[in-house]
Amino acid sequence: MDRPVRAHPGGDRGRCRHSDAGVSALLIAGTTSDAGKSMVVAGLCRLLARKGIRVAPFKAQNMSNNSAVTVEGGEIGRAQAMQARAAGLAPSVRFNPVLLKPGSDRTSQLVVRGQVAGTMAAGDYLTRRRRLAEVVNADLESLRAEFDVVICEGAGSPAEINLRATDLANMGLARAGGLPVVVVGDIDRGGLLAHLFGTVAVLEPQDQKLISGFLVNKFRGDPALLEPGLRQLQELSGRPTYGVIPYLDGLWLDTEDSLSVQAGQALGRPIEPRGADWLTVAAVRLPRISNSTDVEALACEPGVAVRWVADAAEIAEADVVVVPGSKATVSDLGWLRERGLADVVRAHAAAGRPVLGVCGGFQMLCRSIEDVVESGSGRVEGLGLLDADIVFEREKTLRHWDTPLHGYEIHHGQVTRSAETDWLGVGLRRGAVYGTHWHGLLDNDEVRRGWLTEAAAAAGRSGFEVAGDISVTARRDGQLDLMADALTDHVDLDALLGLLDGVPARPVIGTSLGSVGT
C-alpha cells in the first residue's frame, strides 16, 4: 500500500522518492576508518527522526568486535545499535546483516543476520561473496520498502581498490542499489584534500559517477582558510563539499573503531570530583579487545579518570583495574602473561584493590578456561582471582536484558563451576574482585554508583564521592543530539538530502591528475 511521501527538512525540494526498487537511500563513505562515517549516519538519522521522517540505518558489512544484541536475539555492530537509537528504533539484525569479528590478523568470526556462520579467512571471502551479497541486497531493499529514508554507512574506504571485486559495503553496495555516495574525511589527520580527490580518482568510471560530493569532519580553526582549498577541490573533481563539521570534544561515547582505543589514551574528558579524591581506572587495552564501550560509563562520572593502558607500571599505579572483553580470550590472556601484566593484576587484587573483569576479561580472572571453540587450546589456567571454571560452548549466548537491569550478553564461555559469591545476580565476586558476562552493566546508574562506592573504599579513596545526578543514558542521547545539531549548523542539508531524489550527474576524473573528463 502506498504511503504519503514526506518532505525533506530543507523544504519542498528533495522529496523522498518511491521507485520500483523501494524508497530513498544514500551512502556515507569515508576516506579512512574512523573518518566520521558512523557519526554522520547517526546525526542524519537523529535529525530526520526529530522531524517525523521514518529513517533507518544500514551497514551492509561491519568489521568490529564492538557489538550489541538485537530484538531478534542476534548480533550487530554497536555503531548500528547506536544509529538505531538515533532513529528511535530498537536494534535489528537488518541494520547490519554481515558482521566480521576479527579473532586474529587473518581470520574472523562471520556473523550473518545476527548468528554465527563460521570462521572465515581473508582468502575465503571471494567464494562467499555471492551469498553474502544476496543477503545484503535483500535486507537493504526490505528497509527501503518499509522506511521513508535509509542512511547507509560504508566500511573502511571505497579507495581500497584491491578489495573492489568482493566489496559489499562501499561501491559494491552503491552500484547494486543505485545509491548516491558522500565521502567524509577527517581533516584533523592532515592531507584531507588529497584523500578526497584521490578517493574519487582511483575508482573506475561507473563508481566515480556515484560519488556526489564530500563532507569535511573534525575541523579546527577558521573555515575561511579552508575555503580556497575546497573551491579548488570542486574545480578538480567536479563535486561540491556539503559542509565542514567542527571538531567536537563531546563525541567520545560509543566509539567503534579500534583506532579510537589506544594504550596511553584518556577516555572522555574527566570531570572534577565532587569530593576530595579522584578515582583512577586502568582499562587494559587488550590486542583483541571487544566491547571497549563498557568502561565509558565510568568516564561519565565526576572524579573518575579512565585511561587505556598496556603497561605494567600504569596498572600498578591505578586505583581500579578493568579487564574488558576479548574476541580471543585465551590469546589475550597469554598476552597479559607475556607483557608481565598478569602478575601486576594479581598483585593489585592481592592488596585488596578492586579488579573488574567483563565477559572475556571475567573469564581470564577465573581458575581455568577450557576452549576448543575459539582458540582450540583446550584447558588453560586462568589468573585464579575467582574460584570458578569456564567452558566454551559452540552455541554462542546472545541475550538482551531490560528488567530489572538492562544489559546484554555475547559469549561462548559458560561458568560451569563456582565457589564464589553471587554479584547482583549477573556475576561473581570475591572481596574486591568482580566478574560479569554482562555488557552495559555499568550503564545502570544505581549499579555503577554502588560499585564505585565499594571500589573507592577498597582503593582507600575515602574522599571520593559518587555523584547522584549522572545518567549515562541521557549522556548517550545528548551525544546523538549533538551530532544532529552539528550537521544542522554546518552542513547544507538541502543539498545533501536532495541526493535522496537520485544520483546527480558528476564528471569522471581523467587519468591525468588535475584533469576533469566527462
Q: Are residues 394 and 339 in the same domain?
A: yes
Q: Is the pLDDT of residue 8 over 60?
A: no
Measured CA to CA, the distance from residue 504 to residue 436 in angstroms comes to 51
CB-CB contact of 428 with 420 (8 Å): yes
First-to-final CA distance of the chain: 40
Backbone torsions φ then ψ of 225, nearest 5 degrees: -70, -25
Residue 264 is predicted with a pLDDT of 67
Q: How far is CA 160 from CA 134, 169, 298, in A?
A: 22, 12, 37
Q: Which structural domain range is residue 73 located in?
A: 18-96+126-252+478-505
Measured CA to CA, the distance from residue 84 to residue 94 in angstroms comes to 11
Average pLDDT over every residue of 481-491: 95
Rg, Å, the chain Cα set: 24
Residue 309 is predicted with a pLDDT of 95
CB-CB contact of 55 with 150 (8 Å): yes
Task: Supply 425's cell numbers.
Answer: 545476580
131 CB-contact burial (10 Å; exposed 0-12 / middle 13-18 / buried 19+)? exposed
State the pLDDT confidence band at 130, using cuts at 50, 70 and 90.
Answer: confident
- pLDDT tens for 422-463 read 999 999 999 999 999 999 999 999 999 999 999 999 999 999
Q: Is the pLDDT of residue 518 over 50?
A: no
437 is annotated as an active-site residue: no
Q: Which of 359, 400, 412, 437 is catalytic?
A: 359
Q: Where are the alpha helices (DSSP H) in 91-191?
A: 125-146, 171-177
Residue 128 is predicted with a pLDDT of 81
Domain assignment present for 358: yes
66 CB-contact burial (10 Å; exposed 0-12 / middle 13-18 / buried 19+)? buried
152 is annotated as an active-site residue: no
Q: Is the pLDDT of residue 403 over 90?
A: no
CB-CB contact of 283 with 322 (8 Å): yes
* HSE of 113, CA atoms in CB hemisphere, 13 A: 11
Q: Is the pLDDT of residue 513 over 60?
A: no
Which 3 state secondary structure label does DSSP give 139? helix
Average pLDDT over every residue of 284-301: 92
Domain assignment present for 101: no
Q: Are residues 279 and 242 in the same domain?
A: no
Q: Are residues 313 and 418 in the same domain?
A: yes
Residue 408 is predicted with a pLDDT of 93
Residue 266 is predicted with a pLDDT of 78
Cell 582549498, residue?
Answer: 229
Domain assignment present for 13: no
Q: Which of 348, 412, 437, 439 is catalytic?
A: 439
What's the domain count of the chain?
2
Q: Name which of 8-12, 417-421, 500-504 the model is least confident about.
A: 8-12
Q: Are residues 323 and 343 in the same domain?
A: yes
Identify the bridge partners of residue 429 per DSSP, sorted by sequence position: 421, 434
Can you spell out the DSSP letters for 444-490?
SHHHHHHHHHHHHHHTT-TT----SS--HHHHHHHHHHHHHHHHHHH
Q: Return the higher-pLDDT residue of 248 and 495.
A: 495
Percent of the chain whose predicted confidence (pLDDT) is above 70: 91
- pLDDT tens for 318-336 read 999 999 999 899 999 999 9
Q: Are residues 58 and 88 in the same domain?
A: yes
Q: Return the higher-pLDDT residue of 118 and 301.
A: 301
Backbone torsions φ then ψ of 77, nearest 5 degrees: -60, 140
- pLDDT tens for 141-157 read 999 999 999 999 999 89
Q: Are residues 25 and 149 in the same domain?
A: yes
Q: Is the pLDDT of residue 240 over 90?
A: yes
Please, what is the average pLDDT of the chain?
A: 89
Cell 584534500, residue?
Answer: 193
Residue 122 is predicted with a pLDDT of 65
Residue 256 is predicted with a pLDDT of 59
Q: Is the pLDDT of residue 6 over 60?
A: no
Residue 509 is predicted with a pLDDT of 87
Domain assignment present for 338: yes
Q: Is the pLDDT of residue 70 over 60?
A: yes
Average pLDDT over every residue of 183-209: 94
Q: Return the higher-pLDDT residue of 124 and 219.
A: 219
Residue 330 is predicted with a pLDDT of 96
Measured CA to CA, the distance from residue 109 to residue 392 in angstroms comes to 15
CB-CB contact of 438 with 408 (8 Å): yes
Q: Are residues 144 and 217 in the same domain?
A: yes
- pLDDT tens for 360-397 read 999 999 999 999 998 889 999 999 999 999 999 999 99
Percent of the chain whose predicted confidence (pLDDT) is above 90: 72
Q: Is the pLDDT of residue 192 over 80?
A: yes
Query: What is the CATH classification number for the domain harbouring 290?
Result: 3.40.50.880
Q: Are residues 232 and 329 in the same domain?
A: no
Q: Is the pLDDT of residue 121 over 80?
A: no
Q: Are residues 347 and 296 in the same domain?
A: yes
Q: Are residues 406 and 485 in the same domain?
A: no
State the pLDDT confidence band at 65, using cuts at 50, 70 and 90.
Answer: confident
Nearest residue to 48 via CA among 126, 127, 171, 149: 149
Query: What is the CATH classification number for the domain harbouring 237?
Result: 3.40.50.300
Who's near 404: CB < 8 A, 6+ residues apart?
none
Given 419, 440, 466, the domain boundary residue is 466
Domain assignment present for 109: no
Q: What residue type is assigned to position 72 of the chain?
A: E
- pLDDT tens for 23-52 read 499 999 999 888 899 999 999 999 999 999
Average pLDDT over every residue of 205-219: 95
Domain assignment present for 220: yes
Measured CA to CA, the distance from residue 436 to residue 362 in angstroms comes to 6
CB-CB contact of 290 with 326 (8 Å): yes
Q: Is the pLDDT of residue 488 over 80?
A: yes
SS3 content of the chain, % helix, strand, coil (to 5): 35, 30, 35
Domain assignment present for 260: no
Identify the bridge partners of residue 306 per DSSP, sorted by sequence position: 281
**Cβ neighbours of 415 (radius 10 Å):** 18
Q: Are residues 143 and 180 in the same domain?
A: yes
Measured CA to CA, the distance from residue 399 to residue 239 in angstroms comes to 45
CB-CB contact of 271 with 301 (8 Å): yes
Domain assignment present for 207: yes
Nearest residue to 10 via CA among 497, 513, 490, 371: 497
Q: Are residues 372 and 492 in the same domain?
A: no
Measured CA to CA, the distance from residue 377 to residue 493 in angstroms comes to 53
State the pLDDT confidence band at 89, using cuts at 50, 70 and 90.
Answer: very high
